[in-house]
Amino acid sequence: MPVTRRQALVSAGAFAAASSLPLNGQTQSPASDAPEAEPVCLSDFEPLAKAKMPPMGWEFLNAGAGDEITVRWNKESYQRIRLKPRVLVDVSHVDTRITLFGQEHAFPILLAPVAAQKLVHPDGELGAVRGAGAAHVAMVLSSYSTTSLEDVSAAAKIPLWLQFYARTDHGFTRELVQRAEAAGYRALCMTVDMAVSGARNREVRARVQLPPLPLGSLNILGSKLDPAVSWKDVEWLRSFAKIPLLLKGVLNPDDADRAVKAGVAGIMVSNHGGRNFDTVPATIDALPLVVEKVAGRVPVLVDGGIRRGTDVLKALAFGANAVLIGRPYLYGLGAAGEAGVTMVLNILQHEFQVAMALTGRPNVASIDRSVIWS
């Protein structure tokens, strides 16, 4: 439903009440355990999460590839983009709704796939999906989940998509896709920017070890990534998948064009959060060229570096249909469990509504390049 200014203010009040919930589901003492100040923006959750998370989980969540230059660029590139507001526009009624693959979303914001969430919080993916449900935000589950895709589906009150990698064992991949379809997942996201694992120096130094990954009969750690993955694998997947297939990890516009011609349902402009290959461009810098090449034939989504509602607005202005956030909601999960995920999303949603109002954009369709100060 469209969100009015009054509803946004009510939502902000609800967030303030939720912010006082115990962190990680534990009772806070009046003095020592309570944070000095309640989080009011996404960056406020980082120190709260670091204080509560195991050191290995913190290193895993924050690690990037190589010198972590792309990790830094992802955020800095948004900060360099200036907005061009319009005034005296009626924004008493701000409509944030979008539609993707026939499914309406209250906001153009989804949860990106992040592996091994029990390294962040004992509730893992169940905490994330419940927190997302309270904020009415769809979630993309990682195939490296520490909770079975069926258990996540059973706990979900929002649409779920499944992310996966190309594997040398095609039987493994087929069974994973069919399980996702049987469990009610709405789309598939094939990660294509990780034919091999990159230079993950920080993870090696921290001696990161993944916890058990309970995918039933599927031995996900025993099925190796396929360095021979090619467009033939996309054709093969499309031959039996019954739900939309998106390619995640596209930066080159020529790859985006070929993907559309191969019949994929959508493109995710992503650099893996800077986790696998360093010094590739920030996703917001790659986005406009991909959008130009795709030319509206399929939806284009983007992740990486989004920390503010203004970042969401900027991504949409450059042509994205929706954005995904990764680390920010995991900071919320690490700090306060499922309530923390909801708090992070409520803040980002409210900031996006404010950004729309202050740039004179009453609905998502009105967000275009004219909102960018060239």
Would you name the residues annotated as active-site residues? 272
* 164 in Cβ contact with 188 (< 8 Å): yes
How large is the C-alpha radius of gyration of the chain? Answer: 20
Q: Using CA atoms, how far apart are residues 269 and 280, in angstroms rounded to an integer?
A: 12
Q: How far apart are the first and last CA of the chain?
A: 33
Distances (CA, A) of 78 to 84, 286, 288, 310, 353: 14, 12, 13, 9, 18
DSSP letter string, 87-147:
-S---SEEB--EEETTEEESSSEEEPP-S-GGGT-TTHHHHHHHHHHHTT--EEE-TT-SS
Q: Using CA atoms, how far apart are residues 291 and 296, in angstroms rounded to an integer?
A: 7
Amino acid in position 282: A
User: What is the DSSP-derived secondary structure letter of residue 160?
Assistant: E
- Say which residue the tokens 């923006």 belong to: 41
Nearest one of 288, 237, 287 to 264, comparing CA atoms: 237
Query: By 3-state DSSP, what share of the chain in percent is helix, strand and coil, each rounded to 5?
Result: 45, 15, 40
Question: 231: part of which helix (H) or strand (E)?
Answer: helix 231-240
